[in-house]
Amino acid sequence: MTGFIVLMLLSVAGLTIGSSGLTILNIPELLLGKGDEVSRQILFHIRWPRVLAAILSGVALSVSGAVIQTVIRNPLGSPYTLGLSAASMFGAALAIVLLGYAAQHGIAQSLKNSPYLITLSAFIWGMACTFLITGFARWRGASPETLIMAGIILSALFGSATSLMQYISNDVELAAIVSWMFGDLGKATNQNTLFLLVVIIPSMAYFIYNTFNLSTLNAGDEVASSLGINVNRLRMITVLTASLCTAVTVAFFGVIAFVGLIIPHVTRRLVGFNETYVITGSAIFGALFLLASDIVARTIVAPVVIPVGIITSFIGAPFFLYLLFNRIKKR
């Protein structure tokens, strides 16, 4: 309940903080269709999609991280660890370079500035990586270790491929690739947040429906199987669904690091290891964290807005180290 209240307060802060002079007092009249057109545009087409994108991305990334950590029984699990972000980054870089090449040679001029092709390519490569990993794991018996190992190998492979794209790109393309690498909620629109919502709702419904099944995996694959769970199927569908949520988020907004990794751990510390609480808690804390990070990103060196991915990395990396050292100390 407290989480929801804080989320509401942060959402209002997210809607009103900025250089336009829009305040909390203006919101009711704008909601009623009154007020000036500029303020309405700012509220409904810039701030609102951005706040909603922060909430939805926070939910998608953190819940995906939580369920993947559970199904592969590894605290370092997340769609990013499975190579998805590296693959998406390569997809975006490839699209940027190919579109640039096409434009230089007079091919498909109309596509030159199409951000959707870059998004589509990032999404396709991210999901292709997931299918490759799950297919490989299924072939090798779907062990959690296989998934992690395959993820590390594919991350390295796609990282090298992205470096190659950067090497052969020109200055403009290189800038576009680097810019895409930083997760930025400034790319949020009403259309892409709606799309994200359509993907997230059934995915979250699947995770919540399977909370008890996911809990059985904590007892090990053999015990889960003896409890009537089809372990391989549950693991595969969960990884694919979590990857879908993450791939859509990454394709629209870029790589927002650490949310999927640290939020589930923070949640477990606060609510324990019961999957029902871990999943719902991760959703709330993930939304809060990304919303707060985005407000910081917009205000810390205002009027310059820095990509939220940089903020989450700055907060996430030291915090994760703290968790790690604290755990070692506890042992």
Partner 1 sequence: MTISFQNIKFAYGNQDVLHGVSGDLKSGRFYAIVGPNGCGKSTLIKCLDNILHPHTGTIELDGVSIKKIRKKELAKKVAYVAQTSKIIFPLDVFSTVLLGRRPHVGWLPGEKDRKLVNRIIDELGLSDLIMRNIDEISGGELQRVQIARALAQEPSVLLLDEPTSSLDLKYQIEVMQLLKQVSENKKITIVTVIHDLNLATRYANRFILMKKGRIIAHGGKEVINEENIKTLYETEVQKISHGTQTYILPV
Interface positions with partner 1 (CB under 8 A)? 69-70, 73-75, 209, 211-213, 215-216, 218-220, 222-223, 225-230, 268, 272-274, 276
| Residue closer to partner 1, measured from CB, 135 or 272 | 272
Smallest distance, Å, CB 193 to partner 1? 29
| Residue closer to partner 1, measured from CB, 20 or 215 | 215
3-state helix, strand, coil in the chain (%, to 5): 80, 0, 20
Identity (one letter) of the amino acid at 169? S
Smallest distance, Å, CB 229 to partner 1? 7
Q: Which residue, chain included where needed, has tokens 């993820």?
A: 151
Smallest distance, Å, CB 130 to partner 1? 22
| Residue closer to partner 1, measured from CB, 164 or 221 | 221
Identity (one letter) of the amino acid at 163? S
| Residue closer to partner 1, measured from CB, 235 or 268 | 268
| Residue closer to partner 1, measured from CB, 228 or 303 | 228
Residues sharing a CB contact under 8 Å with residue 73, sequence separation 6 or more, in sequence order: 144, 217, 218
- Start-end of H helices in 17-47: 26-31, 37-41
C-alpha distances in Å from residue 226, one per residue of 16, 80, 189: 53, 31, 47
Smallest distance, Å, CB 212 to partner 1? 6
Smallest distance, Å, CB 73 to partner 1? 5
For the purposes of burial, counting CB atoms within 10 Å of the CB of 238, is it exposed (0-12), middle (13-18) or buried (19 or more)?
A: buried
| Residue closer to partner 1, measured from CB, 229 or 292 | 229
Smallest distance, Å, CB 297 to partner 1? 31
Report the Cα 275 to chain-centroid distance in Å. Answer: 20
Cα separation, 164 vs 97, in Å, equals 11
Q: Which residues pair with 182 in a beta bridge?
A: 255
Smallest distance, Å, CB 136 to partner 1? 17
| Residue closer to partner 1, measured from CB, 58 or 77 | 77
> Which pair of structure tokens corresponds to residue 140?
């090798």
Identity (one letter) of the amino acid at 174? L
For residues 127-137, one letter each, b for 16 or more C-beta atoms within 10 angstroms of the residue's C-beta and e for the rest, the string is bbbbeebbebb
